[in-house]
Structure 1
């Protein structure tokens, strides 16, 4: 088991072994059943925040979150981010508390990560759109599209448009499936980027990230489908927004490391 895998195990051990999670989730489900959705949602959001803070404390890292002009209380939309490895998930479920908007309703779109880490559906009351359904050999795209649009009626959906974990710091080309849904049905995109997560690896090319001990999670900007005449220009605009911000952060990371 490599260094990165060890950190992944540590990350997902926190919600399994820390007593706060079973207690908090139990109260959350009681509130959900009795119709107190606001408090149920707030507990889940706090648990995500506690998860991220605990993991960063144990690993000696700090988070630099930059909200910019992001409005977490806008219309339901897709929140998209690059995907290096499974340890970004606590940042995503902690996002409401990071933005000081404790009642933000988020769902999550993902494939095998949901199958592996059952804590994610538990923390979001299974308001999950499983991409694995869409990516099977005989996908039922109509049902997948229906599920996505249904979830968007009550909450925003966080997803990774690259379609897979990259295990690098590079932003890879976006997959088109879910993005086409966004374009066709005029779903707004809020673009985020995370940088520094491969500092948990033992690869020499990321040694500068080990020294900086900072993970960056920044808002890049918003994309509105109605502003673009073709899907291709819409997709390219979202990619460019994310990649430009990533380059900015990488320059900060390198300058912060002593020579």
Structure 2
């Protein structure tokens, strides 16, 4: 088992080994089916925050978070972020507590992994967070589009526009499928970026990240679909905001090492 794989296993064992998670999710599910969605949502958000804090404590990492300018209220938005590896999940699902807004209602977009795992990854339980699932094996674009639009009536949806884990600190080109839905139906984007997660790997080129033991999570800005005359403009602006902030964070990392 490689170094990065070890940390991934450690991270995803936390919700299994700590009794708080199965108990909390049981109560969350009960509140969800009894229409007490507010309390279900609050439990989910707290568990996500506890998960992130537990993992960072165990691995000796600190978080540099900057959400200045982000308004977490409301719904009908896509929240997008770069996707280095699976260790980002507990950080992403802790976003409401990081923003000091425990009632933020988030859903998640993912593939068949959501069907295979009910507690892991924690907050992606389809029933509780109304996760939107696409099937890599049997894609049905019409149903997928309808699910996205239905969930956006009450929640914002978090997704990774790169479409896959990159296992690199570089930001890859965005996949266009879901983003085209966003532009066509005038869905606004909140853009975030993470940096430093490859410091959990044993690759020599990320040795400086291993030494710094710091993870960055910053808000890049919002994009209003109505402000862009073409889909290409809309997509390129989202990529630019994310890459610009990533370059800024990498400059900080190099300065500190």
Query: When the two structures are superposed, what TM-score results if normalisation uses the length of structure 2?
Result: 0.95
Q: Deviations over 1:25-60 (max 9, x none)?
A: 122122223322111110110000000000000000
Contact 1:27 1:40 in 2 (8 A): yes
Superposition deviation, residue 202 in structure 1: 0.2
CA distance in structure 1 between the aligned counterparts of 2:192 and 2:146, rounded to whole angstroms: 25
In structure 2, the partner of 1:91 is 91
In structure 1, the partner of 2:186 is 186
**How many aligned positions are there?**
254
CA distance in structure 1 between the aligned counterparts of 2:212 and 2:149, rounded to whole angstroms: 40
Tell me whether 114-123 or 73-82 shows the greater mean CA deviation: 114-123
Structure 2 SS opposite 1:125 = helix
Please, which of 120, 125, 128 is the counterpart of residue 122 of structure 1?
A: 125
CA distance in structure 2 between the aligned counterparts of 1:49 and 1:149, rounded to whole angstroms: 27
In structure 1, the partner of 2:157 is 157
Contact 2:125 2:131 in 1 (8 A): no
Q: Does 1:224 align with 2:224?
A: yes
* Structure 2 unaligned residues grouped into runs of 5+: none
Query: When the two structures are superposed, what TM-score results if normalisation uses the length of structure 1?
Result: 0.94
Superposition deviation, residue 145 in structure 1: 0.5
CA distance 1:41–1:123, shift in 2 (3 Å): farther
* Structure 1 unaligned residues grouped into runs of 5+: none
CA distance in structure 1 between the aligned counterparts of 2:182 and 2:35, rounded to whole angstroms: 31
Superposition deviation, residue 126 in structure 1: 5.0
Deviating above 4 A after TM superposition, structure 1's stretches of 4 or more consecutive aligned residues are: none
Contact 2:28 2:128 in 1 (8 A): no
| Aligned 1:60-139 pairs, distance under 5 A | 60-115=60-115, 117-119=117-119, 120=122, 121-122=124-125, 125-131=128-134, 133=135, 135-136=136-137, 139=139
CA distance in structure 1 between the aligned counterparts of 2:205 and 2:199, rounded to whole angstroms: 9
CA distance 1:96–1:197, shift in 2 (3 Å): same
Structure 1 SS opposite 2:202 = coil
